[in-house]
Amino acid sequence: MAVKARETLESKQISFTTLGIIMVVVVGYTLLYNQFANTLEDYRLKTIVGVISLVIMMGGFLISLRYITTAYEMVVTHDRLIIDRKIFFWKKTVLEVKTDDIKKILPIEEAKKVDGQMRNYTLTNMDGKRKYVIQYEEQGKICCVKIQCTGKFHETLKKQVKI
C-alpha cells in the first residue's frame, strides 16, 4: 500500500476576536451567576445552582476545545482514500473509500444534493486549501463527503481515481 499523497488539515489558531468573545461570555456568565446566587438564601439550592453552573461551563469548555483541536489527516494510496480525525491524541478513521467507488470530485460550488449520506470533513476557510465534494458509491447509493485540501492533493486524487 504505497502512499501517493498525504495531507493534514489542522484548525488555525484562535483569533483575538474569538478569544475576546469567549472571555466576555465567561465574565458575563460569572457575574450573572454571582448576582443570582447572592439572592438565594437556601444553602442547598445555592449548591445545586452552583453545580449546574459548573457543569454548563465545563461542557461549553470541552465542546469548544474539541472544535479548536480537531485535525484531519488524509491519505491517498494506490487504491484508497483514507481520512483520519485526530482530537488531541485520539485518532479514528472516519472514512475509507476505494478509488474505484469514487464517481466525481467537484468544487463545492458545483455540488448537487445526493440520495446517500453526506459527511463534512472541513474546517474554516484557509488560504491555499479549497473545499471539494467527493461523490462515491456505497451500498448502491451515491454518497458525498466534503474535504478541504491543496491543489496538489486534489490533482493526485484525481489521477488515482482517473476522472
Domain map of the chain by residue range?
Answer: 16-68
pTM of the predicted model as reported, rounded to 2 decimal places: 0.72
Average pLDDT score over the chain: 84
Q: Which of 131, 21, 145 is nearest to 82 (CA)?
A: 145
Cell numbers for 160: 488515482
Collapsing DSSP to helix, strand or coil, 93 comes out as strand
Over residues 73-113, the pLDDT tens digits come to: 999 988 899 999 998 888 999 999 998 888 888 888 887 77
Say which DSSP state 13 is in.
P
Crossing angle of helices 16-39 and 43-69, in 10° steps, is 170
Ordered alpha helix ranges (H), the chain: 16-39, 43-69, 151-161
Q: Which residue has the higher pLDDT, 137 or 1?
A: 137
